[in-house]
Structure 1
Amino acid sequence: MSRITVRQMNFDFTEAIGRYWYGNSPFKTHFFNSITLLFPDGEQFMLRTVKRQLKEIDNPQLKQEASAFIGQEAQHAVQHEKFWNNLRQQGYKFDTYLRFLRFILFNVCENQLSIKFKLAMIAGVEHFTNAIADLVLREELFAEAEPKMKELFEWHSAEEIEHKTVAYDVFQNVTKNYIIRLLGIFIAYTFVLGFVSLGLVMMLYQDKKLLNIKVWQEMIQFFFTKEKFVFKVFLHSLEYFRTNFHPSQKDNLFLVKKVMHFS
């Protein structure tokens, strides 16, 4: 049996959720808003790629876990996309951003990359999201966020940790080529960081906060001095470069228990 549970969630993001729902911080709010804009289509790309590979997986346990991975990622896409209605009601416009994202994801990555490179990219993205998920739960990163958004990101983080080995194992089931693995994580980080940065700048610009000194001070604190987000994610990411790396080597499954009420 798969150790991964597909949870049917039904988040309701009411209009009462504030414009700056993360501790009244425009920077932190829009940083995670930009992640919420990226997730749904990113998840669709990943689940479709893994779904097409299912029939080629010869390990019954891995096939079960890959099916559960697909189920969890589908839920992540649906639940994050629900929050888009709130962003639109607050006056944000991001349809052009989504068209560009979908062109790169589906016309370029999905249609042009080989299955090896697509799976290597997905394994790299999963390593990145696992690094963020670890921080979210280990350091209670969303303690200052509005409860419903805290619940969304903590549930998502718990499931990222729960299925952290799947994408890597599916990639390894196709090829164990170290160079392709490294190229995959390079593509993944370039893609994620590029679109998160683009989304962040877009949201801050529309909010007339892009040139606000306080916002840039918040960024420096969050990334480098207080939460040290960049340093911690970077250190976690370095593990991927070991030749004998496997996601299971990171002992963080206990963090899932912090949000066991989602089970």
Structure 2
Amino acid sequence: MTEQHHRLEQRKVRFDFADTPLHWVPNEPEASHIMNTLHILLPAGEFWFCKVYNKALPLVTDERLRDDVRGFIKQEAQHARAHDSALQPYLDRHGINSKPFTRRLSWLFDKPLGELPIGDHALGRGLKHWWLLQRVGLIAAVEHFTCVLGNWIITTDKLDNADPVMIDLLRWHGAEEVEHRCVAHDLHVGLGGSMVMRWFYMVIACIALTYLFSAGSGMMMRQDPATRRSPGFLRLWSRLGKRGFLPTPGSIGRAVGRYFAPGYHPRTEGDVNVALNYLANSPAAQRAAAELQAMA
């Protein structure tokens, strides 16, 4: 369970990208595209998290963990909605057609990662519980990455001069990832998931996320005249990391290494107080809180 437990709340934020440029990190089109990949990946991915966790929730017997999982689901659903609000009006307005890519993503989460990937028959139904635990293990690994990236985005000052709406979206999201950093791990352990299983799914997550970020950012860069001849993805990420516009590959590698330590728990990742401080000062979160108070 979380060390400093507090109840997770859903902040119903909204963002207006009408004045946000495609290259929202000034003079850094490649960094902008790599981070814009989140708008393509997260709506389908985080709604998938919610579907899996809603299936897992009846299996949770610990009341505090059950409350954490409910809060996690609400926050992840809001993350998906917020990034989806950038996907169509923002990327479409700038001439980026993401629909072929997002259709393939939807197929991935609906079919191979869906509830009955091998079909609705006796064998498929018999494996539903086992397959649910495998997906919970995969989510725990992915949530390690989202916490690490979230901690970086709320602590770096390199992006302070970026578009204020986009950076607020990413920092609000990143802060909530740090805030609920323990839930996915605790759920996996609570449902009987093993350390070896978590290790296996971390390997899968590393491969899958590298491919998805490479494919998604490459798709956008090919449609942008400013970035049509960008270098290979890993070389590009390394170059941007050295300049501070992305977390360095070394820092991500060390974070992955920590996950393989026996007895690892995500309470050691980031600082919840730093995350909560950002959430208390986020323009979007402040507007959402004011609107909620006005309705009370």
Shorter chain as denominator, the TM-score bin is: over 0.9
Asked if 1:4 corresponds to 2:22, the answer is no
How far apart are the structure 1 equivalents of 2:236 and 2:27? Answer: 11
How far apart are the structure 1 equivalents of 2:165 and 2:254? Answer: 30
Hey, what does 2:82 align to over in structure 1? Answer: 79
Amino acid at match of 1:221: R
Tell me the C-alpha RMSD between the 2 structures. 2.0
Asked if 1:128 corresponds to 2:132, the answer is no
Asked if 1:23 corresponds to 2:26, the answer is yes
Q: Is the 8 A contact 2:151 2:270 kept in 1?
A: no
Matches within 5 A, 1:59-70: 59-70=62-73
Distance 1:260 1:103, change over 3 A: same
Point out 4+ residue stretches in structure 1 off by more than 3 angstroms: 215-220
2:228 to 188, 191, 210: 210
Asked if 1:242 corresponds to 2:261, the answer is yes
Query: How many percent of aligned residue pairs carry the same amino acid?
Result: 24
Distance 1:56 1:95, change over 3 A: same
| Distance apart, 1:180 and its partner CA | 1.1
| Distance apart, 1:218 and its partner CA | 6.2
Q: Which moved more, 1:33-42 or 1:187-196?
A: 187-196
How far apart are the structure 2 equivalents of 1:94 and 1:133? Answer: 24
Distance 1:12 1:110, change over 3 A: same
Hey, what does 1:108 align to over in structure 2? Answer: 112
| Distance apart, 1:53 and its partner CA | 0.8
Q: Which moved more, 1:156-165 or 1:231-240?
A: 231-240
Matches within 5 A, 1:1-263: 2-14=6-18, 16-84=19-87, 85-111=89-115, 112=117, 114-208=131-225, 209-212=227-230, 219-223=237-241, 225-227=242-244, 229-256=248-275, 257-261=277-281, 262=285
Stretches of structure 2 lacking an aligned partner (at least 5 in a row): 118-129, 287-296
Amino acid at match of 1:13: F
Amino acid at match of 1:211: R
How far apart are the structure 1 equivalents of 2:44 and 2:23? Answer: 24
Q: Helix, strand or coil: the match of 1:109?
A: coil
| Distance apart, 1:116 and its partner CA | 1.5
How far apart are the structure 2 equivalents of 1:94 and 1:4? Answer: 32
Amino acid at match of 2:111: N
Amino acid at match of 2:134: F
How far apart are the structure 2 equivalents of 1:106 and 1:133? Answer: 26
Deviations 1:196-229 (A, max 9, x none): 110111111111323157x998644313x23252
* Structure with max Cα Rg: 2
Amino acid at match of 1:202: M
Q: Is the 8 A contact 2:147 2:269 kept in 1?
A: no
Distance 1:127 1:212, change over 3 A: closer
Q: Is the 8 A contact 1:131 1:237 kept in 2?
A: no
| Distance apart, 1:253 and its partner CA | 1.0
Q: Helix, strand or coil: the match of 1:83?
A: helix
